[in-house]
């Protein structure tokens, strides 16, 4: 049975932010992450910051590569929830 994946979105940091650039992925596909742990670094017009994982689980897909700019709200990766990680 397939588990439901958790999307990771390009966040919005400030009222005028319309897009962000992925500077670096701090985790690779297949890595397990904890909720709140940094997943990637993002650059905007006003800030460079790390994006935290919205949930605990395994990073199963990086949808947007480093160096790519995408609009706020774009799905940039998918996590498999912690309970779905098999033994």
Q: What is the pLDDT of residue 1?
A: 36
Q: What is the pLDDT of residue 56?
A: 96
Domain boundaries, the chain: 6-84
Residue-by-residue pLDDT tens, the chain, 87 positions: 356 999 999 999 888 899 999 999 999 999 999 999 999 999 998 889 999 999 999 999 999 999 999 999 999 999 999 775 554
Residue from 2, 7, 1, 3 nearest 59 by CA: 7
Q: What is the pLDDT of residue 64?
A: 97
CATH number of 6-84: 2.40.50.100
Q: What is the pLDDT of residue 66?
A: 98
């Amino acid at each position: 049975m397939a588990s439901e994946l958790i999307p990771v979105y390009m966040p919005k940091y400030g009222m005028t932010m319309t897009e962000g650039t992925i500077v670096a992925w701090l985790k690779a596909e297949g890595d397990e992450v904890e909720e709140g742990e940094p997943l990637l670094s993002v650059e905007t017009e006003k800030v460079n910051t790390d994006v935290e994982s919205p949930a605990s689980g395994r990073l199963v897909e990086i949808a947007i590569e480093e160096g790519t700019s995408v609009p706020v709200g774009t799905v940039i990766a998918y996590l498999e929830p912690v309970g779905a990680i098999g033994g």
